[in-house]
């Protein structure tokens, strides 16, 4: 697998950045969606 893009395929760096961005997006969405697990209740 090549590091650089070719006419036929994307390179390793582009694929790695794509999946890193996807995982970070999913992690951010999950932490926002389940934020009640990470915060304390405000009730007295």
**24: in domain:** yes
Whether 17 and 26 have beta carbons less than 8 Å apart is answered as: no
Distance between the two ends of the chain, CA-based, in angstroms?
A: 58
Q: Which domain holds residue 11?
A: 7-36
Residue 44 predicted with pLDDT over 90: no
* Distance between CA atoms of residues 10 and 27, nearest Å: 24
Q: Does any domain span residue 1?
A: no
Taking only the tens place, the pLDDT of each residue in 1-43 is 788 999 999 999 999 999 999 999 999 999 888 887 777 777 6
CA separation for the pair 14, 16 (Å, rounded):
6
The answer to whether residue 20 sits within a structural domain is yes
Total domain count, the chain: 1
Cα-Cα-Cα-Cα dihedral sign, residues 34, 35, 39, 42: negative
Helices (H) and strands (E) counted in the chain, each on its own, are 1, 0
- Note whether residue 44 is domain-resident: no
Domain assignment of residue 41, yes or no: no
């Amino acid at each position: 697998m090549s590091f650089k893009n070719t006419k036929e395929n994307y390179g390793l760096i582009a694929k790695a950045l794509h999946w890193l961005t996807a995982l970070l997006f999913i992690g951010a969405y999950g932490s926002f969606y389940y934020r009640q697990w990470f915060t304390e209740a405000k009730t007295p």
